[in-house]
């Protein structure tokens, strides 16, 4: 169970960082300030 759980966390981590990279690419094409404000409003912080 623990081994499988760690694998799931690893997959989620890779997926999360891929999603962040996509957001960065989108922000490069749109208004970064608006995107960051939107992110801060919903998630409390944005890296």
Give the model's pLDDT for residue 32.
53
| Residue 47: predicted pLDDT | 44
State the pLDDT at residue 21.
86
- What integer pLDDT is reported at residue 15 of this predicted model? 92
Domain count across the chain: 1
Q: Residues 16-45: pLDDT tens digits?
A: 998 988 888 776 666 555 555 555 555 555
pTM, two decimal places: 0.43
Q: Which helix (H) or strand (E) covers residue 9, if one does? A: helix 2-29
Q: Which of 16, 17, 39 is nearest to 27 (CA)?
A: 39
Q: Which residues contact 26 (CB under 8 A, 6 or more apart)?
A: 35
Tell me the per-residue pLDDT of 2-13, one tens digit each, with 9 for 90 and over.
Answer: 678 889 889 999
Q: State which residues form the domain around 14.
A: 2-43
């Amino acid at each position: 169970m623990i081994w499988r759980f760690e694998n799931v966390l690893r997959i989620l981590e890779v997926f999360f960082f891929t999603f962040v990279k996509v957001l960065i690419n989108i922000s490069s094409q749109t208004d970064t300030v608006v995107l960051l404000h939107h992110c801060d409003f919903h998630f409390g912080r944005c890296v």
